[in-house]
Chains A and B, each alone.
Chain A
Amino acid sequence: MKKEITFTLNNEKIMVEADPKWTLLYLLRDVLEMTGTKEGCGYGECGACTVIIDGKAVNSCLYPVMEAEGRNIVTIEGLMSRDGELDPLQKAFIDEGAVQCGFCIPGMIMSAKALLDGKKDPTDEDIKESIEGNLCRCTGYVKIIDAIKSVAGGR
């Protein structure tokens, strides 16, 4: 049985009918067709599906959709401004060469975003902690760390 839930998604209030068996990721990708959030494993081990819920980075593949009720959820689609201006983190990932195949990148950026929103001047340890649940097979993480640092330092 589907139930109605209301929450804020990328700064807009939305109301959807959701099946309590769904995950948030299913709602985002398969129902709302917002495919920016990726599914890399489906069991919370790769971080490709990371979104920000009430300021915290969360694996949306493990998140029961009913829990979204009343919450503030931001996905990768929500980072770009309406006039097309990219978030400083997105720019940094592009400019620092942190993107290769790119499949992990939306999740990686959301994890870093949650960190930087909460902590203006994170330590190297903070940065590593923020993305330790985000797997990347292409980059060796070096330029991803550089990209996050460049934004953290620049604030």
Chain B
Amino acid sequence: MDGLKFVGQRIPKKDAPLKATGEALYIQDIKVPGMLYGKILYSKYPHARLLKVDAAKALALPGVKAVLTGADVPNNFKFGFLKDNPPLKSGKVLSTRDEVAAVAAISPEIAEQALSLIEVEYEELPGIFDPLEAMKEGAALIHEEFKSNVLKMPWKFVHGDVEAARKESAFIAEDSFSTQWVTHCCLGTSGCIASFDVGNNLTMYSNTQIPSLAQNDYLEALKTFGLKNRRVRIIQAVIGGGFGSKLDTYAYEYIAILLALRTRKPVKIVFTREEEFLATSPRQCTITKISQGCDKEGRLTFREIEMVLDNGAYTSWGATTPSVMMVPISSLYKVPNVKYTAKCVYTNNTYCQAFRGYGNPQATFAIESCLDQLAEKAGIDPLDIRRINANEPGEVTPQNFRITSCGMKDCIEEVNRRLGWKDKKGKTGDRGVGMASLIHVGGAARVYKSDGCGTIIKVDDNGKVDVITGSSEIGQGSDTIISQIVAEVLGVSIDDINVINNDTDVCPWDVGVHASRTTFVAGNSALGAAKKIKAQIMEIAAKNLGTEPEELEMRDGVIFSMKDKEKSIPLSKVLRKAHYTLGGRMLVAEHFYDPPNENFDQTFRGNLSVSYAYGAHGVEVEVDRQTGQVKILNYIAAHDVGKAINPMLLEGQIYGGGLQGIGYALGERMVYDKGYLKNGNFLDYKMPTVRDVPPVQAVIVESDERDGPFGAKGIGEPGLVPTAPAIANAVYDAVGVRIKDLPITPEKVLRALKEKAGERS
């Protein structure tokens, strides 16, 4: 792929100037004339009967325009994956983030004051905060209508004969691992403005990651509210971070819609930081039992995993994370026999959702920690057991994933070389090295029926190119990647390309920013549209130049004949000729790309993604035996990305994901005590600061994916997938204690060191 002018270049992010000057408008910055401010009253208890919600005093406060309670939700409307979540609760509250009432007022201050005037009488009920308790026979039911606290989503994948393989294995390791709730901490909090026109058509200013799906959710809600056949337009503000948090619709959005309907005014709801912690949905905490075996040579013989996920009180799309957990469980390394079962369990805790990796980090923590245990039993170096079992191109995995490009071995070798593995592994002292690998979908994932994205390209009179894409920009750089691809195909400069990506009235359909899919799917979609528009342009140019389209090329906005350089015409002139000719035409092309990905069948088999992303992380740590503190001395993050369309932005994904992974591994944890969040602020929730950045190398491995745009695969999520087990393995190598419950805090390390010393004496 020589001679590429834009693809592969370190081109600055298109919207960076807007953001670096403060001109970018986030939802916080947008005001609509006549706008009211909405605020939400949350439940005082994690589980209680609502005996009375009296809004009279709040309504009487000057400036208050509406107060809504559960009684004001029309036709028993509920949202969420299992439609179990009313936007305002009546009868019972099931968690401390349950919405009890909402106010719209002329200022945020008055709305806040009005909340304090709402009188609520509760009858507190005993809660269930442990999923294992909730699964016990006779446990009180969180949702009585479902007859069980275990969600009726039986996650079970079986391949081969695990029991027979277990008997034949030379070595077996088994253990239990658990992970904690962590939250996205988007610097821009969640928010929206709901606004209706005279015909009850809704315009929603939003920072959703899924405009097309959210549009559908709102349409469904309007229908339930008695407003059939209305239009919904979503205009996305600049999005202040996503990471999965905006991959579903939330109660506050429906509350804003209901308040706007009641008041006939636009209503804005923007979360405070405390609300962002309380009322957005974290990564699921998991309890995992795992066993893995290998033969004498270290080849994996089986993997068996049983998992329990705390679903919280309601069900979002997050309840489908076990489907993505299956990706590493069935297909990380070559493993012939696999059994996986998972249960999502209702509790009176916060309900969970998508967060970068979508279940993969939890599963990989168990698999890769346990793999080191197995390597130790087998007397094989952890790096070697990964080499022996590494995935390879051409492989078909137990879930029928067809592996195309695969740079896993290269990533492992990068870790080996850059970390100085052989010199450092197993040495005495307080330092140690650890590693872990990853597999993730690299060519999107058919989670929904469609995995597609549309692009429209139109070229105007002056030779400027408008690329109208369905894909959203949440900071990851899709605006730039798409521009690079289109510029490369057309032969125009990046600056001549304008990406429009934030308005459902204009933009084509897209399933959303998830599954690390945007470069792959939106990139391929843009690539297809660019080729089509190029053909149109060349056809007109050829007529004007008296040549054949095939001999024409465009560079820097000028079209010329490769046979006769004298024959040339600027793009702008071609366009004017198209427009200013009798019987003229527009230059518009569209392309919808939906990768040949497969939905899982009943047995959870199917080629979920047309390509898979790989990586390996290696880390050297030093453990302070006095304090239990883990210090990262060196961090290598090697990723097989197919092709780096923009190495600079790609490194940003790896660095950013990596530090989120380090936070997950070493410090971040939402502390819930009997349903109450105890650390819902930046003081007490330890999100990494610049002080937590270790020496880190982002290593790009290119494997040239045949189906990717210019060979590219996804990279959005992989950066944090293997971080925690790599660090846990390094801690074990350093001081001989294995922390099986994230995060690896100094207290846990100290306690484990003490226990180990006790064992020895």
Residues in chain A within 8 A of chain B (CB atoms)? 29, 34-43, 45-46, 48, 75-77, 79-80, 86, 90, 93-97, 99-106, 109, 128, 131-145
Contacts and interface: CB of A to CB of B under 8 A. Distances in A.
Interface in B455-488: 474-477
Contact of B21 (A48, A80, A97): A80
Per DSSP, are chain A's interface residues mostly helix, strand or loop, or mixed?
Answer: loop
B656 A100 contact: yes
B652 A102 contact: no
Interface stretch (B43-51, B158-166, B233-241): B233-241
A145 B693 contact: yes
B21 A38 contact: no
Contacts of A43: 273, 681-683
21 contacts: A35-B29, A40-B189, A43-B683, A46-B187, A80-B21, A90-B17, A94-B16, A97-B648, A102-B238, A103-B186, A105-B19, A106-B20, A132-B691, A135-B185, A135-B689, A137-B186, A137-B243, A138-B241, A140-B696, A142-B698, A143-B655
B649 interface: yes
B652 A138 contact: yes
B681 A142 contact: no
Contacts of A104: 187
A100 B476 CA distance: 6
Contact of A142 (B25, B242, B474, B696): B696
B690 interface: yes
Nearest to A100: B475
B241 A137 contact: yes
A45 B241 contact: no
A106 B18 CA distance: 10
Contact of B683 (A45, A136, A140): A45
B659 interface: yes
A143 B20 CA distance: 14
B25 A141 contact: no
A140 B22 CA distance: 21
A137 B21 contact: no
Contact of B273 (A42, A76, A77, A95): A42
B15 interface: yes
B658 interface: yes
Nearest to A95: B12
Nearest to A84: B21
B475 A86 contact: no
Which size class do B's interface residues fall under? 35 or more
Contact of A101 (B25, B187, B659): B187
A99 B187 contact: no
Contacts of A100: 13, 475-477, 652, 656
B19 A145 contact: no
B176 to A, nearest CB: 30
B283 interface: no
Given A135-B682, A136-B187, A143-B651, A99 B689 contact: no
A89 to B, nearest CB: 8
Q: Which 5 residue pairs of A and B lie closest in terms of their CB atoms, listed nearest first? A: A36-B22, A102-B19, A101-B475, A140-B655, A103-B240
Contacts of B13: 94, 97, 99-100
Contacts of B238: 101-102
B28 A39 contact: yes
Contact of B16 (A41, A45, A99): A99
A75 B21 CA distance: 10
**Residue in A75, A86, A103 with the greatest tally of chain B CB atoms within 10 Å:** A103
Given A103-B188, A139-B652, A109 B20 contact: yes
A46 B17 CA distance: 22
A37 B21 CA distance: 10
Interface string B216-250: 00000000000000000000001111110000000
B655 A139 contact: yes
Nearest to A147: B20
Contacts of A95: 12
**Residue in A35, A77, A104, A128 with the greatest tally of chain B CB atoms within 10 Å:** A35
Nearest to A139: B656
Contact of A35 (B25, B240, B652, B655): B25
Given A36-B23, A93-B20, A101 B188 contact: yes
Given A38-B240, A100-B13, 13 more contacts: A34-B22, A41-B273, A46-B273, A76-B22, A93-B16, A94-B20, A97-B652, A99-B13, A102-B475, A137-B185, A138-B652, A141-B689, A143-B651
A140 B632 CA distance: 14
B26 interface: yes
Nearest to A40: B187
**Residue in B22, B189, B240, B477 with the greatest tally of chain A CB atoms within 10 Å:** B22
Contacts of A139: 652, 655-656
B537 interface: no
A131 B691 CA distance: 9
B660 interface: yes
A144 B184 CA distance: 20
Contacts of B29: 29, 35
A101 B649 CA distance: 12
Nearest to B187: A103
Contacts of A133: 689
A26 to B, nearest CB: 10
Nearest to B646: A97
Contacts of A41: 273, 681-682
A97 B659 contact: no
Nearest to A127: B690
B687 interface: yes
Contacts of B239: 101
Contacts of A37: 22
**Residue in A43, A86, A94, A134 with the greatest tally of chain B CB atoms within 10 Å:** A94
**Residue in B187, B659, B683 with the greatest tally of chain A CB atoms within 10 Å:** B187
Given A40-B273, A135-B187, A102 B693 contact: no
B24 interface: yes
A41 B23 CA distance: 20
A105 to B, nearest CB: 5
Contact of A38 (B16, B26, B657, B688): B26
A100 B14 CA distance: 10
Contacts of B19: 99, 101-102, 105-106
A43 B276 CA distance: 14
B188 A38 contact: yes
A106 B681 CA distance: 21
B73 to A, nearest CB: 30
Contacts of B688: 140
A6 B188 CA distance: 31
B450 interface: no
B10 interface: yes
A79 B652 contact: no
A43 B28 CA distance: 16
A132 B690 contact: yes
Given A40-B273, A86-B21, A103-B187, A97 B12 contact: yes
A102 B185 contact: no
A79 B21 CA distance: 8
Contacts of A131: 690
Interface string B2-41: 0000000010110111111111111011000000000000
Nearest to A80: B21
B495 to A, nearest CB: 13
Contacts of A101: 19, 186-188, 238-242, 474-475
A39 B660 CA distance: 22
